[in-house]
Every structure is written in structure tokens, then in C-alpha cells.
Amino acid sequence: MLFYSRAKRSVFSTAFLLAFVAAPAWAQTDVDPSKPKKHFTVSRPAGLSGADAQDIYDRIEDDMVAGYRLSLEPSARSYGRWPRYNTAPYRSAQHGERFVNNYANDLAQDYRLYERSGPMPAGSILVKDSFAVTKKGDVFSGPLFIMEKMAPGFEPASGDWRYTAIMPDGSLLGTTKGSGSQRMEFCVSCHAQVGDNQDHMFYVPEAYRLGAAD
């Protein structure tokens, strides 16, 4: 039995997210809202079991995908057919306490090896879709996060990964070396923490890896 009796879906506009993406730093006069330093953090996020998180995802997935598909990003249209590498949605502090899922295309199939995966070849794409659940039981669609491995030399600081974020309404928040690229700089700096040791990739938490107990 889920702990909430009602769930409602909300689509954040790009302008709304930009206004809050760096909260609470947004209130500081020296913060540039066009260059967020972190994801907007969900206020009072719910703690859910894997089964409850999966149940919510099953209910909202079609609506989420329909929103992402309004973008011009090919991965937003195809990622749902790719393998998923987590057993259930899990809450990610790095993504503002949203619940996320990890998908990878065929070229990135070695992602399933996690720490043993090694560097990914050009053309590899990793995707996280996301949603938020509050302690009140409200459910909100979140951004679609995309990492695509580009040709060598694309961007040394990112390990040649291109980061893209698609809003729930299909609008583009930003993409590395493209429109809104300054909004993706914090993705580059966050993933640089693991750098060459993990080819700038974070992995599914051990409790949610395929074959692990939920």
C-alpha cells in the first residue's frame, strides 16, 4: 500500500526551474541564475521503498515520455526502449533528491559492469529520467538528463561527454557547447569528481543494481 492517497503531475517550465535551480543560493546577489551550481532540490522529499517508487513510475512513465518527446533530442524519443540498469527508481542527492532511472544505449552496454565498465566509446549515451515525490504525496515530473560520449577532443574538461537536460514539457534547459551550455557547467564539474577513474560516470547505487536485493 502506498503511503499517499493522491498523486498529481506538474510540468515545470524552463523559466520556473531557472528561478529555483540554485536555491537557496538564488537569494544571493552574487549568484548568476544562468549558471546554476546545482540542481533545484525538492523540498521535503518522500522516502519510498523500491516497490513504491516503481509503482509511481509505472503510473506516470507514459506522461513523462510524452513530455520529453516534444523536444528535438533523439534520445528523448528512444531511451524507453533501452535497457534499464536499476531495479527500481532511487532517490538521487546529486539530482536534487529526485527519483531517477538509468538507461543506456547499445554502445554503452558495458555500463552494466559498473566499476569494471572502462571508458565508453564515442556514441555511447546514458540517460536518466526523473520525478519528484513529496512527503505530502504530490508527484512531479522532472528533467531528462542525457550524457552522450562525443568524438575525442570534443571537450576535455567533460571527458568528451556532452550533457543535455530536457524539461518535462520538452523544452531544452541546456546542452554542452550548445544552447544554454552555461547551465550544464555544473554537470561537468560534478562528474569531474570521478574523472578518468570512471570515465566521468557515476553508477547505480549497489542496493539498486540488477541482481541486488531491493
Q: Give residue-wise pLDDT tens across range 143-176.
A: 999 999 999 999 999 999 999 999 999 999 999 9
Q: Which of left, alpha, beta for 112 (phi over 0: left; psi -120 to 50: alpha)? A: alpha
Residues in the chain: 214
Q: What is the mean pLDDT of residues 177-192?
A: 93
pLDDT at 37: 52
* CATH architecture of structural domain 14-204: 3-Layer(bba) Sandwich (3.50)
pLDDT at 22: 33
pLDDT value at 10 more than 50: no
Average pLDDT, the chain: 83
pLDDT at 145: 97
pLDDT at 43: 75
Preceding omega of 24 cis (within 30 degrees of 0) = yes
Q: What pTM did the predictor assign?
A: 0.82
pLDDT value at 11 more than 50: no
Q: If you write DSSP's letter for every residue of the chain in order, what string do you get?
A: --S-S--------HHHHHHHTTTTGGGSTT--TTS-SSPPPPSSBPP--HHHHHHHHHHHHHHHHHHHTTSS-HHHHHGGGSPB-BSS-EEEGGGTTEEEEEEE-GGGGGGGGGGG--PPPTT-EEEEEEEEEBTT--EEE--EEEEEE-STTS-GGGTTEEEEEE-TTS-EEEETTSTTGGGGHHHHHHHTTTGGGGTT-----GGGBTTS--
